[in-house]
Structure 1
Amino acid sequence: MVEHPNDWNERITIAEQMLPLISRLHRDHNVVTSIFGRLLINVTAIDILKSHRYARRVTDRQLPPEQTLAILEQLLEMNLGTGSVDLGSLATRFEQQGGDFADGAALREYLSGELAGIVGTASEMRHTDVVLYGFGRIGRLLARILIAREATYGGVRLRAIVVRSKGEGDIIKRASLLRRDSVHGPFDGTITVDEDANIIWANGTPIQVIYSDDPSTIDYTAYGIDEAIVVDNTGKWRDRDGLSLHLQSKGVSRAVLTAPGKGDVKNIVYGINQDDVTEEDRVLSAASCTTNGITPVLKVINDRYGVEHGHVETVHSFTNDQNLIDNFHKGPRRGRAAGLNMVLTETGAAKAVAKALPEFEGKLTGNAIRVPTPDVSMAVLNLTLNTEVEREEVNNFLRKVSLHSNLRQQIDYINSPDVVSTDFVGSTHAGVVDGLATIANGKHLVVYVWYDNEFGYSNQVIRIVEHVAGSRPRVLPRRLDPAAL
């Protein structure tokens, strides 16, 4: 259908009316709005219309902006507390019930029921200090996300980074690396440095730079930091004894590892087993990027069809662990030039799935091929199922899971003939199912899952941090369990 200029101008006018309402909800009530998962934060009128057009993936038609405008007007009249409110879902459900958006009283009654969890609640969130131990690829992305999350919800807040000093000008170089990134682009905001106080200021957030190479001897309380969650992204300590060194420092309540944990350390994949975390768990692992990318997809497939066994082949971007040119490396093959070769190596991700989903114990094997790209990887899930399946039925199920289930933040779905790895840089999902690549033949199923092994994984880490801090915002209206789809 060809879009008429008058229609476009009318929608732009409505979107412009929405902008101050979205801002007031955020500023006055700490309510963040979205349209089928697309956040309306720091957006333009064009961004709003693009989000309404995106709704076609869910409802098979463009979402009328006058419907969401009517909802926003009602939300501002309600006494709402902190939460994340999906305007697209609210509008669609109200219309499906035969609701009239012009009937303000009926719309208000409907919204009061759907948003009962945050009506009349306090707008303030509990603040929790976060310290990043290490400031490499993952550490700097965690910093970017934490700074943005503090501005969005005000729950977890980045207070400090701990690094080993590289000599004169160290803090200037680290600030520069936070400001510019060859893969993820420039920092969204302003960064300044106070060399005398060893503080990096990012969008008004003071980040204390602490120099140390011993996680057990830092007095965080001397910097006004207490009951902090330390996120260790060095990978140096991966068992309970090593990670517990962080707990010996003053002002630390928990330590979260951004790598697979060893021994009895719980490996948490947010969306799957975060409820296994108890008050007694003081050290945790956020597992690996690959484990996060594949576990949610494997869970929903196993719950629906049953998995007898399978093999996971990962096509993974190179990492700093590999050599830029041929040189000695303690690991097999990883000493060969990362930018010139496909490098066959091992991965523990397939076995690690069982740490989050015990029902997969002994069912999966896995290998990895490191390839000459800096970010975004792919996992090929080659599965033998308990039941026969058809390609379209599987794809339709995974698409519904990505749009309507409580795993919507973990699983995304795409059905485009031209997407390549760079299209997924910056994805906040744990994994993205490529529907056109799905193969089904009887009980044999092959599913291809893209994942941003840096940014998507970092978002999963932050979700764990927010969960253990008690700072995860409520997402409303409530989503379905995948089993109900």
Structure 2
Amino acid sequence: MTVNDDSFTNWKHREETAESMIPMIGKLHREQDVTILLHSRSLVNKSVVSILKTHRFARQIAGAELSVAETMPFLRALTTLDLGPSQIDIGMLAATYKGDDRGLTVEEFTADAVAGATGANKIDRREPRDVVLYGFGRIGRLVARLLIEKAGSGNGLRLRAIVVRGGGDQDLVKRASLLRRDSVHGQFQGTITVDEESSTILANGNAIKVIHADDPSQVDYTAYGIKNAILIDNTGKWRDREGLSKHLRPGVDKVVLTAPGKGDVPNIVHGVNHDTIKPDERILSCASCTTNAIVPPLKAMADEYGVHRGHVETVHSFTNDQNLLDNYHKSDRRGRSAPLNMVITETGAASAVAKALPDLKARITGSSVRVPVPDVSIAILNLQLARETTREEVLDHLREVSLTSPLKRQIDFISAPDAVSSDFIGSRHASIVDAGALKVEGDNAILYLWYDNEFGYSCQVVRVVQHVSGVEYPTYPAPAV
């Protein structure tokens, strides 16, 4: 048998193993509210090839490819346990088992590692929490996709309604079509139908009422059977407490803004300061996509090395706020054609750092350039550290943070030498450290951080909503602190 034959046979065996994983992963998700992860990446509803690619990607961060043959025993062991709602990372189980010296079997080790989610320790399944989207633009539609995807067993977040301004003919059909197909993020994974008579979009069995209103004061959500809902404002029209309070209508309990909040509105970056949200806080902001991209790695660097000062330069994809062709705009430069120009503009991300990291005394400045790509941006974070270090030390630190720390859902790490922006479309992390571009000299470190400013940010928004709704389930093995 030739080497090619050996490789092909090996591939077919791996395909067979991945194929047998799918029903186990699906059953755990549907029946027990357990989400199976692989190095923070969900394997729920993934294809055979996607599961294999996710295993292969592990070599980018851990240095060696992870085999489905290594993770399958841990998945099989999980199916025998009395598990409660949780997220379980079989990549981390496989990695930590290698370093365990207690002589345990895979079954014994797995049971011990997830003991907090089993038997008397397991948490109760939550009642579904109603969610309303106010606005249905770029972020609104991606958040909708994520909420529908995560409906799972039906015990988490439940998207009940979308509020939009009244449209003309075929309004509902056109909005459903924009949810179904996206030029950047591809087709919706599932089925979408429209019931115009009841003004409802049916997406993977989720009945989503489309409410037409020009102002929050026009809506009584209880009239639609909605109660105790979290409303996500994707319009950015209101950004202070007074304006956002207009959403606190009958049926709505909390308001989450997908833009930087003003005044005393808390700006939350999940993974960094979400645990500071007060239980009685009814209005909060998820800050900006750029703030979410820079704050987690900034915290990781500050915790390890200390930071005296820093500057962030964002090279940002163009947005709907810019013009396709030169035309009037209230801003000085954003009126110039977005697909044809690099446009210098301002960013509030640097000033927003103080809200998310109040203990960081370093002065952070920032500026931004919009460039002619539709999605994925890069933040160049230039830091003066409190002590000298080396490039190798910083790389090892950030790689470890991306794998085992509480920030592993926010920070990804890639060492591919040929990576470009389009490679990160669909990334669920807030930012991705580009190892090849990192520069360190003495006490100066320059980090290059890719981020999907649409999808990655939307994932952060959903994480915040999960946290305030009480359906953010614990992860096992527990990340190192």
TM-score range with shorter-chain normalisation? Answer: over 0.9
Query: Are the counterparts in 1 of residues 325 and 338 from structure 2 also a CA contact under 8 Å?
Result: yes
Residues 260-299 of structure 1 mapped to structure 2, 5 A cutoff: 260-299=260-299
Aligned equivalent of 2:183: 182
Aligned equivalent of 2:72: 69
Q: Deviations over 1:163-198 (max 9, x none)?
A: 111222211111111111111111111111111111
**Identity of matched residues, %:** 54
Task: Kindly state the Cα deviation for residue 250 of structure 1 after the two structures are TM-superposed.
Answer: 0.6
In structure 2, C-alpha distance between the alignment counterparts of 1:48 and 1:341, rounded to whole Å: 39
Task: Kindly state the Cα deviation for residue 32 of structure 1 after the two structures are TM-superposed.
Answer: 1.7
Task: Kindly state the Cα deviation for residue 443 of structure 1 after the two structures are TM-superposed.
Answer: 1.4
SS of equivalent residue, structure 1 residue 359? coil
Asked if residue 244 in structure 1 is aligned to residue 245 in structure 2, the reply is yes
In structure 2, C-alpha distance between the alignment counterparts of 1:437 and 1:208, rounded to whole Å: 46
Q: Which moved more, 1:89-98 or 1:376-385?
A: 89-98
Query: Are the counterparts in 2 of residues 129 and 157 from structure 1 also a CA contact under 8 Å?
Result: yes
Runs of 4+ that moved beyond 6 A: none
SS of equivalent residue, structure 1 residue 287? coil
Task: Kindly state the Cα deviation for residue 430 of structure 1 after the two structures are TM-superposed.
Answer: 0.4
Residues 17-416 of structure 1 mapped to structure 2, 5 A cutoff: 17-98=20-101, 106-120=105-119, 121=122, 124-151=125-152, 154-247=155-248, 249-361=249-361, 363-416=363-416
TM-score between the two structures when normalised by the length of structure 2: 0.95
Opposite residue 54 of structure 1, the aligned amino acid is F
Task: Kindly state the Cα deviation for residue 37 of structure 1 after the two structures are TM-superposed.
Answer: 2.1
Query: Are the counterparts in 1 of residues 150 and 157 from structure 2 also a CA contact under 8 Å?
Result: yes
CA separation of 1:52 and 1:420: change in aligned 2, threshold 3 A = closer
Task: Kindly state the Cα deviation for residue 38 of structure 1 after the two structures are TM-superposed.
Answer: 2.7
In structure 1, C-alpha distance between the alignment counterparts of 2:97 and 2:345, rounded to whole Å: 51
In structure 2, C-alpha distance between the alignment counterparts of 1:372 and 1:47, rounded to whole Å: 30
Q: Which moved more, 1:34-43 or 1:295-304?
A: 34-43
Aligned equivalent of 2:11: 8
TM-score between the two structures when normalised by the length of structure 1: 0.94
Task: Kindly state the Cα deviation for residue 75 of structure 1 after the two structures are TM-superposed.
Answer: 1.7
CA separation of 1:98 and 1:44: change in aligned 2, threshold 3 A = farther
Task: Kindly state the Cα deviation for residue 153 of structure 1 after the two structures are TM-superposed.
Answer: 6.6
CA separation of 1:326 and 1:245: change in aligned 2, threshold 3 A = same
SS of equivalent residue, structure 1 residue 413? strand
In structure 2, C-alpha distance between the alignment counterparts of 1:397 and 1:98, rounded to whole Å: 24
Which stretches in structure 1 are left out of the alignment for 5+ residues? none
In structure 2, C-alpha distance between the alignment counterparts of 1:362 and 1:4, rounded to whole Å: 53
In structure 2, C-alpha distance between the alignment counterparts of 1:194 and 1:369, rounded to whole Å: 43
Task: Kindly state the Cα deviation for residue 223 of structure 1 after the two structures are TM-superposed.
Answer: 0.6
In structure 2, C-alpha distance between the alignment counterparts of 1:203 and 1:366, rounded to whole Å: 42
In structure 1, C-alpha distance between the alignment counterparts of 2:17 and 2:65, rounded to whole Å: 15
Query: Are the counterparts in 2 of residues 259 and 286 from structure 1 also a CA contact under 8 Å?
Result: yes
Q: Deviations over 1:6-53 (max 9, x none)?
A: 433333333333333223222332212122223222233333333333
SS of equivalent residue, structure 1 residue 216? helix
RMSD: 1.8
CA separation of 1:123 and 1:358: change in aligned 2, threshold 3 A = closer
Task: Kindly state the Cα deviation for residue 71 of structure 1 after the two structures are TM-superposed.
Answer: 2.1
CA separation of 1:153 and 1:205: change in aligned 2, threshold 3 A = closer
CA separation of 1:228 and 1:88: change in aligned 2, threshold 3 A = same
CA separation of 1:21 and 1:123: change in aligned 2, threshold 3 A = farther
In structure 1, C-alpha distance between the alignment counterparts of 2:359 and 2:470, rounded to whole Å: 28
In structure 2, C-alpha distance between the alignment counterparts of 1:153 and 1:296, rounded to whole Å: 31
Query: Are the counterparts in 2 of residues 29 and 123 from structure 1 also a CA contact under 8 Å?
Result: no
